[in-house]
Structure 1
Amino acid sequence: MTDAPSETTSSTAEDEVLYAVDDHVATITLNRPHRMNAISGRMLTQLAERLAEADRDRQVRAIVLTGAGRAFCAGLDIKDAVAGTGIGGQGGSSGSGTHLSTRDHPTTVMFEMDTPVIGAINGAAAGFGLDIALGCDIRLVAEDAKIVTGFAKRGVVPESGGTWYMPRLLGWAKAAEIGFLGRDLTGAEAAEMGLANRALPGDELMATAYGWAAEIAANAPLAVQSMKRLFRHGLTEDFPSHVHHVLLQTMLLFQSADFREGITSFAEGRPPEFEGR
């Protein structure tokens, strides 16, 4: 699968976040290309809703998150904010997302999801866009994408998860280098430093993202979701507690039809056909 899924969709022409599902893979697309997918209040709300929708759908086994046009996400829409109509402005509409709680924030929703998310970073990722990228489980980035880490150059910090993710992803010293210096990085440099899994030529990015998503979707979804959940909990657990929780999760998986299919297909020398139950 190399093209965007189109089997089912719940998007309209007015949506700032597009959503489509095909063959167990959901595509979520930030859709303000005329503003380099800069975040509006509506986009913030819709992104959280689309992520939650995908995570609830038992037919969705992997998610590809990307941006329309030449950017992934250029961060907060500064023009709208200055005009008082966007996030942080006083004149935003009820759908602006200005009063969105951190519980319903897209990066919080992403962190609590069990469905794997592949970020296909097709272009510039700055500010909130970088934090969203860091919240993905896997990041594939175009080699020439511009990764903007200059929060300190604007007198702010990564406000939506970056300060939590970077030391865990990179270690303290690398996180400090990136954060304190605030230098722009190419996609290739970001991958070399560990901010992305792989940097790719732009014309190969989406095909690779969908290829990886298809591989994930072909695996036992209950096991993949449990693994992601255990990864998440393991970040804050001591080792004995974590091993105990892994054992409990394993015992539940032993009772699943997917486990039986995994064992049977292996014995019969054929590809497994998992149903997610």
Structure 2
Amino acid sequence: MDAIPKEEEPLLTALEGGVLTLTLNRPARLNAMSQELIGLIIEQLDRALVEPGVRAVLITGTGRGFCAGADLAGSGVGTVMGPDGKPDLGLVMERLYNPMIRAIRELPKPVIAAVNGVAAGGGANLALACDIVLAARSARFDQAFVRISLVPDLGGTWFLPHIVGDARARALGMLGQSVPAEEAERIGMIWQVLDDEALLPEAMRLASRLAAGPTLSYAAIKRALNAAATNTLDQQLDLERDSQRQLGRSADFKEGVAAFLAKRPAHFTGQ
């Protein structure tokens, strides 16, 4: 396991049993995303990409909130200026926020969000970018952008219609309405709601299960689902064919079949 970082660090990291846990650690600001915090998250996602010992990633937050979105003060988005001296929000999106979301979606390993409290604005969409979202019963998801005359970002305008449908996406975006965790589960925005005290233990159990699973299969599933949003059925059938061809040649497939026939647990290695 990694050494325990100092409490004041904006991102706490721990690697245990193949699970890389990233804990947003700015509780005084409900873990609002500063430029430093985003840079650290990207660093750890890059680490997860290349380090074989990382087989799953778990993202959560300290304190009362998962993430309150962008830090509008301090070192937040409002401090990046364009040539005309006005804030250039597009520049910080291009340099930091968008690379972070792309890194989560393209990572060939499962990414789990454990939403422990309010997930507002970009914090909500950071959670929705993850592969599986668990939430504490007291959590809520808040597309707050319209309250400051902005558009949902960090993929929000893509995730919402794909996850909850066009009608709900438009209402959520334009009304800036909060969605309690149980309602988010009911409408398919997230996977599961858990009692507050059970959230982190259950999230770690799920992450550990995924870390012990067939990571090649997970990577192929992520690629296929990412492509499904724009592929035709014929294109998706071809993608599935190519994925099965590749996976069928893997040691994990051989092990999975052998374990199934022998009625024993499989031991996957990612090979």
Q: State the TM-score, normalizing by the size of structure 2.
A: 0.89
* Residue equivalent to 1:86: 76
Number of aligned positions between the proteins:
262
* Residue equivalent to 2:252: 258
Question: Where in structure 2 are the equivalents of 1:66-215 lying within 5 Å?
Answer: 66-80=60-74, 85-90=75-80, 98=92, 101=95, 105-215=99-209
Q: 1:31 aligned to 1, 6, 25, which one?
A: 25
Q: Given the alignment of the two structures, is residue 249 of structure 1 paired with residue 243 of structure 2, yes or no?
A: yes
Aligned AA for 1:181? L
* Residue equivalent to 1:94: none
* Residue equivalent to 1:276: 270
* Residue equivalent to 2:52: 58
Counterparts of 1:148 and 1:118, CA distance in 2: 19
Q: Among the aligned pairs, what percent are the same residue? A: 34
Q: Return 5+ residue gaps in structure 1 as ranges.
A: 1-6, 92-96
**Residue 263 to residue 205, structure 1, CA distance change in 2 (3 Å):** same
Runs of 4 or more above 6 Å deviation: none
* Residue equivalent to 1:22: 16
Q: 1:222 aligned to 216, 220, 242, which one?
A: 216
Counterparts of 2:149 and 2:44, CA distance in 1: 31
**Residue 152 to residue 246, structure 1, CA distance change in 2 (3 Å):** same
Deviates more, 1:202-211 or 1:179-188: 179-188
Counterparts of 2:185 and 2:231, CA distance in 1: 28
Q: Return 5+ residue gaps in structure 2 as ranges.
A: 82-90
Deviates more, 1:144-153 or 1:19-28: 144-153
Cα-Cα RMSD: 2.1
Counterparts of 1:184 and 1:270, CA distance in 2: 46
Counterparts of 2:172 and 2:98, CA distance in 1: 28
Kindly state the Cα deviation for residue 71 of structure 1 after the two structures are TM-superposed: 0.9
Counterparts of 2:17 and 2:158, CA distance in 1: 33
Q: State the TM-score, normalizing by the size of structure 1.
A: 0.87
* Residue equivalent to 1:4: none
**Residue 77 to residue 196, structure 1, CA distance change in 2 (3 Å):** same
Counterparts of 1:254 and 1:195, CA distance in 2: 33
Aligned AA for 1:144? S
* Residue equivalent to 1:8: 2
**Residue 174 to residue 204, structure 1, CA distance change in 2 (3 Å):** same
**Residue 62 to residue 90, structure 1, CA distance change in 2 (3 Å):** closer
Deviations 1:20-63 (A, max 9, x none): 11111111111111221111110111111112211322222221
SS at match of 2:230: coil
Kindly state the Cα deviation for residue 169 of structure 1 after the two structures are TM-superposed: 0.5
Counterparts of 2:123 and 2:147, CA distance in 1: 16
SS at match of 2:109: coil
